[in-house]
Chains A and B, each alone.
Chain A
């Protein structure tokens, strides 16, 4: 049995997708925290730049795109705001489907009520399910005519 891996291979696309997702999620947490702090205390990018002995343009660059962040810069930015990140690791298999869903998507994925939602198995392949319009409605006259015929 030696040489047989205990974990299945991951596609190149999934590797890059989860890398980018991780960056986007961290960036979201960071920008949301910065916006909250700015509203609460009035702190600006210039203040952060002074605190970190950096050029304000550097702070602008860091906060302009998830791709510009590194673990070091995240730590620096949060430190300047008197904070640090807390980390948790979650296995996909332990994650439940979220209870919150946009009503339109819930309707399309046929899981409108919380009770139904709980029963519906999580579908990963739903991006392929197309949205189809209801088509042109018949007028009342046409319906009556069709019945009469």
Chain B
């Protein structure tokens, strides 16, 4: 089962659709915990809502994972304690299905076994949810997300 992420703040514009897995939804709507837990859950929610509400999407926020043919993307919720990666696939333009998540510190290098497992979990969750309906495979974020910013502006290219 999937749950839509609706912005908590009144008046926020829902520009894109984000659906989260049961597991992620349980975290976002978990009962009150320690102060650290409350802070991290609140920050994760706010970070996920960026996809839903933001006019523009920063190139460091949403990443296509290797190999691109698998169409697994990650949303980065970057913090010191801990950084969280939310993995998912696109069902259509501006429709992201967040299938699973992982703590960055447990994943290791990009070719690690742990990374492979979470990517495989994302694809397996997709198949369980949508069966024969394939995710959108595209390497150009601008075709998948309206308002996606071009990453080249954030690199140190020289003035033309």
| A32 close to B154 (CB less than 8 A) | no
| A43-51, A75-83, A140-148 - the one binding chain B | A43-51
**Cα(A25)–Cα(B22), bound, Å:** 27
Chain B residue nearest to A27 in the complex (CB)? B58
Contact size range, A: 35 or more
Question: Which residue in B14, B25, B41 is a CB contact (below 8 Å) of A98?
Answer: B14
| A108 close to B4 (CB less than 8 A) | yes
Question: Which residue in B38, B49, B160 is a CB contact (below 8 Å) of A42?
Answer: B160
On chain A, the residues within 8 Å of B32 by CB distance are: 11-13
Chain A residue nearest to B95 in the complex (CB)? A104
Q: Is the interface of B mostly helix, strand, loop or mixed?
A: loop
B136 at the interface (CB under 8 A from A): no
Q: Can you list, as one digit per residue, whether each of A100-126 has a CB less than 8 Å from chain B (1) or not (0)?
A: 111011101100000000000011101
| B42 close to A127 (CB less than 8 A) | no
| A21 close to B46 (CB less than 8 A) | yes
Say whether, besides A24-B46, A95-B10, A127 and B16 are in contact (CB < 8 Å): no
Say whether, besides A32-B55, A127-B6, A24 and B39 are in contact (CB < 8 Å): no
| A102 close to B38 (CB less than 8 A) | no
| B10 close to A122 (CB less than 8 A) | yes
| B16 close to A102 (CB less than 8 A) | yes
| A101 close to B42 (CB less than 8 A) | no
| A34 close to B159 (CB less than 8 A) | no
| A98 close to B17 (CB less than 8 A) | no
Say whether, besides A13-B42, A16-B42, A129-B4, A102 and B153 are in contact (CB < 8 Å): no
| A129 close to B95 (CB less than 8 A) | no
Say how far A127's CB is from chain B's closest CB, in angstroms: 5
| B15 close to A38 (CB less than 8 A) | no
| A65 close to B60 (CB less than 8 A) | yes
| B42 close to A14 (CB less than 8 A) | yes
Say whether, besides A34-B153, A39-B153, A101-B13, A20 and B46 are in contact (CB < 8 Å): yes
Question: Which residue in A13, A95, A106 is a CB contact (below 8 Å) of B41?
Answer: A13
| A35 close to B46 (CB less than 8 A) | no
| B4 close to A131 (CB less than 8 A) | yes
On chain A, the residues within 8 Å of B39 by CB distance are: 12, 16
* Residues of B in contact with A (beta carbons under 8 Å apart): 1-6, 8-17, 19, 25, 28-29, 32, 35, 38-39, 41-43, 45-47, 49-50, 52, 54-56, 58, 60, 78-79, 94-95, 149-150, 153-160
Q: What are 10 A-B residue pairs whose CB atoms fall within 8 Å in the complex?
A: A11-B38, A17-B46, A19-B42, A20-B47, A98-B13, A98-B14, A101-B13, A126-B6, A127-B28, A131-B2
